[in-house]
Structure formats: structure tokens, C-alpha cells
Chains A and B, each alone.
Chain A
Amino acid sequence: MQYIIIIISAIFVNNIVLAQFLGICPFLGVSKKTSTAVGMAGAVAFVMTLATIVTYLIQHNILNPLHVEYLQTISFILVIAALVQLVEIILKKVSPALYQALGVFLPLITTNCAILGVAILTIQKDFNLMEGVVYAISTAIGFGLALVIFAGLREHLDLMNVPKGLKGTPIALITAGILAMAFMGFSGIV
């Protein structure tokens, strides 16, 4: 039961982009076309899950026993940066097809604050490893959902007659605001 609550809460109620404001840069940056949005969402899901597992193990097996919790920020960001590099190298060797699909997005992910954010939130919320993994995967699904919907909306926006002053970023942000309002309708489910 607690897994279902984590899943619904992470995807809809506390959507990482629209309610918690993490990962806005890729949300605005790679949402011009639906196909790139799907690629980015896949790459984020992959790295987010791996990063959460690795940082969880580091926190509970290295930082906590040595009482150096204040090194959390430094160690987590280094691990994530290294992990992204590693994933890139491994994917290139093992699965060139997957690398083709996700490759361009991987370097961007190091500075995606959603990854570090979820790693830290998993520790703050006192999840165990399994809950952390479920939380990471469902957060990534929530990110992908918001990204793909938003990309679809923006594809339509390009064809619309937008007031001159609002063209480009302003109208995109206002659209995101209305989307966030729609997602507010989910609050209260959990």
C-alpha cells in the first residue's frame, strides 16, 4: 500500500516539475518537440534510478557511520557526475542503439537539479532502499509525463497566433502555469 501512495504522490500530486520546481531547465529547454522530450525523459529515468541507489548506499554505508553527513552535497554531486560519465561509456559499448537515443541528453543530466534533488529527498524522507527506488522511478515518470504533455502543447503553440509581446518564452511559461494549475486538481488524492 505505501508503494502505491509513493507512486501516485510522486507522479501526480507532488509532480517534480509542476509542483516542486525541480528540473525546470530541461523542462523548458528540450520541450520543443515531443520526440526529444521522450528521449530526455528516458535518460532521466535511467540516471535518476541509478543515482538514487548509489547515493542511498553512500549515505548509509559511508557518510552516516563516519559521521560526516555535512559532506552530503559534495559527495552526491561528484557521484552523480561520475555516474553519468560511466553510464555514457557503458551504453556506448553495450548498447549503441540505446546510446543513439539517449546519448545527447546524458551530458545535460549532471546539471539537472531533479537528480540531485531526488537523491537528497530520498534521504530526507527516510525511505528504505526499495521505497527510494520506487520513489525515483515514479518521480521520473512524473517528469516524463509533464515534459511530454508540455512538448505537445508547445508544438501546437508554434502554429497559434500569439500576441507579439508574449512570443517565445513568456507564452511557454504561462502555458506551464496553466498546466500546473491542472495538476493541482490532483491534490487531495493522497
Chain B
Amino acid sequence: MKNFTKGFLKENPVFVLLLGMCPTLGVTSSAINGMGMGLATTFVLVMANFVVSLVKSGIPDKVRIPSFIVIIATFVTIVQLTMQAYLPSLYESLGLFIPLIVVNCIVLGRAEAFASKNTVWSSIVDGLGMGLGFTFALTLLGAVREFLGSGKVFGLTIYPEHYGSLIFVLAPGAFIALGYLIAIINKLKKA
């Protein structure tokens, strides 16, 4: 249970560990994009952790990292092809960031730091917890940016679009919104 919940706040990959910043900033122009990216990464995380913990004793120490990368890249390709077939519009808007899940430090980081040392079951739970923590962070950031930028959350209009400040949907808004979110989370963690 502890392995599962630590990813949400205490060891949240985005807000606390500052891992996986590229997709965090790049795809969160709306809540739904953030969520899609988060769930895709969760799938890769869980499957990679599962396979790595299964085969860990068979991999010589020296070629550990390259083997992990091949395992991760396999699942990323599966996600990429599946999304292209069944969710073409989401695939379009996430674009380059889908193949770039391979170099997301969270995935390799969890495979190396957790799955290569722990049992299959706890590795799956760890992957799921971290992945959902990542999804939570991306969805939250996406919702904040969408709300401030265009007055919508998940595409539902909250206030008229022309009152929104477009900057939050554009690139600079990503940095600024994430900066303030991290400041708020730091405050909450201390309280």
C-alpha cells in the first residue's frame, strides 16, 4: 500500500522529484491531453516494471541499462501503434511526445531503482502508483492551464473564452503555472 500511495504526493515524480519535465510542460495545454499522456506513461511504467522484475536475475549487470531501454522501447512502440489505431486525435495532439516516453527519466529510473531490486508484485504496484501520480500531476497542470487560458476544464466551458489569458495555453504559461503549482505543493507538504 505504501508503495502505491507514495507516488501521489510524497514522492510525486513531477512536483517533488522533478522528473519527466518535458512531457509535463509539453502536452498539458489541456486537461485531457495531460491525462492521455499520463495514462500512456502509466501503462509503459507498469509493463516495464513487470518485465524488468521478472527477468532481472537473467540480465548480466553490465548490460543492465541497455536491456532495460529495449524493454521500455518495446512497450512504447506498442502504445504508439495502439494509440495511432484507436485514438488518432489524441495521437495527433501528443505527437512527438509519445515516442519520447522512452527517454522519460521516470520510467528508466523506476526500472533501475525499484524493479531491478524488488519482487514482481511490488514492482507492478510501484509502477502503478508512480504512473498515477504522474497522471495526477499532468491532469492537474493541464486543468489549471486550460481553465486560466480558455475558461474550460476538460472541454466544459466555465466562463467565456475571451476573458481567459491566452498566455497560459502557450509555452510560457506552462513554465509559470508549473512554478506556482510546485510552490503551492511545497506549502501543502509542510502544513
Q: Which residues of A contact B (CB under 8 A)?
A: 18-25, 28, 70-74, 77-78, 81, 110-113, 116-117, 120-121, 124, 165-166, 169-174, 176-178, 180-181, 184
Contacts and interface: CB of A to CB of B under 8 A. Distances in A.
B102 A116 contact: yes
Contacts of B167: 181
A173 B25 CA distance: 11
Most chain A C-beta atoms within 10 Å of own C-beta, residue among B81, B105, B186: B186
Nearest to B187: A165
Contact of B73 (A28, A74, A117, A169): A74
B103 A169 contact: no
Contact of B25 (A24, A112, A171): A24
A21 B179 contact: no
B190 to A, nearest CB: 10
Contacts of B182: 169-170, 173
A25 B105 contact: yes
Interface stretch (B46-54, B155-163, B170-178): B170-178
Nearest to A171: B179
A21 B25 contact: yes
Interface of B: 18-19, 21-23, 25-26, 65-66, 69-70, 73-74, 76-77, 80-81, 96, 99-100, 102-105, 108, 167, 170-176, 178-180, 182-183, 186-187
A155 to B, nearest CB: 18
A20 B178 CA distance: 16
B176 A174 contact: yes
Contacts of B73: 73-74, 77-78
Contacts of A172: 179
B103 A112 contact: yes
B105 to A, nearest CB: 6
A180 B172 CA distance: 5
A70 B134 CA distance: 27
Contacts of B99: 72-73, 116, 120
Nearest to B26: A21
B175 A177 contact: yes
Given A21-B26, A116-B100, A174-B180, 16 more contacts: A20-B26, A21-B23, A24-B21, A25-B22, A70-B77, A71-B77, A73-B99, A78-B69, A81-B66, A112-B103, A116-B99, A120-B100, A171-B179, A173-B178, A177-B172, A178-B172
B69 A174 contact: no
Contacts of A166: 179, 183
Contact of B103 (A77, A176, A181): A77
